[in-house]
Amino acid sequence: MTGRLDFRMPRPASAEPAPLSSPDTRGRGGLVALFVVYLVMLVWIVLWKLEPPHVGDGMLRHIKLVPFAPTAEDGASEPFEVIANVALFVPFGLYLGLLAPLWPWWKIAAVVAGSSLVLEVTQWVLSIGSCDVTDLIVNTAGAVAGLGLLVLARRRLQERTGTVMTRACAIVTVLLLLTAGIFIASPVHYAPARDVDVPVAALGSVSESAILDTVDRPI
């Protein structure tokens, strides 16, 4: 035989995993950017209700430890406000679920609860709103609901989940920006509750209902 025998061992296949090409990793940079925009809007809405940032005069420095029920300083939680808070924090759960897919649900809930607690304490420190346990509960519930939507989407969309849900987060964030712009441009603005001193001599024959309507009218 004239041929040579080759006793070299065959080169093993590379043990390194192939780079992931799923939408979850390819669009991570854009997703992080969208998340940052969402967080800025979230802080602005929760703390200052889309008004210019300011510090209160101490009148709204309340702590409400009884959820949903009225207290001596604060009334009961309005259903619309509860629903709005839940909807506002649903994207929080979506973003965290996409950016940290290996985190268990309770870890995401803990992060959102901690973030919500920071916002509530900040409201108390700046005297721009009451520190309400109700907000802590409903905000966390909204994020968990968003995470649940992501789980359902993964079961149905499979590999397309990252791409589809990233686009959904982008649409929600853009709509949030447009809504904020429309609110800022509109003549209706949020005015925090405050005491108004009205001289008794200036009341004249004005009815009590007319006075209350003037005080409660948004600025």
Q: Are 98 and 162 a contacting pair, CB within 8 Å?
A: yes
CA atoms within 13 A on the CB side of 115: 20
Between these two residues, 206 and 145, which has the higher pLDDT value? Answer: 145
Give the per-residue SS3 of 93-156.
HHHHHHHCCCCCHHHHHHHHHHHHHHHHHHHHHHCCCCEEHHHHHHHHHHHHHHHHHHHHHHHH
- Sheet strands (E) in 19-86: 63-64
With a cut of 60, say whether residue 203 has pLDDT above it.
Answer: no
What local confidence, expressed as pLDDT, does residue 32 receive?
93
Of 64, 196, 42, nearest in space to 112 by CA: 42
With a cut of 50, say whether residue 9 has pLDDT above it.
Answer: no
Instruction: Compute the distance between CA of residue 119 and CA of residue 46 in angstroms, rounded to an integer.
Output: 7
Instruction: Compute the distance between CA of residue 91 and CA of residue 24 in angstroms, rounded to an integer.
Output: 16
Tokens 């004239």 found at: 2
What local confidence, expressed as pLDDT, does residue 209 receive?
54
Q: Summarize pLDDT for 66-114 with one digit per residue, the tens.
A: 888 887 777 788 899 999 999 999 999 999 999 999 999 999 999 999 9
With a cut of 60, say whether residue 142 has pLDDT above it.
Answer: yes
What local confidence, expressed as pLDDT, does residue 102 receive?
92
Instruction: Compute the distance between CA of residue 85 and CA of residue 165 in angstroms, rounded to an integer.
Output: 21
What local confidence, expressed as pLDDT, does residue 4 receive?
55
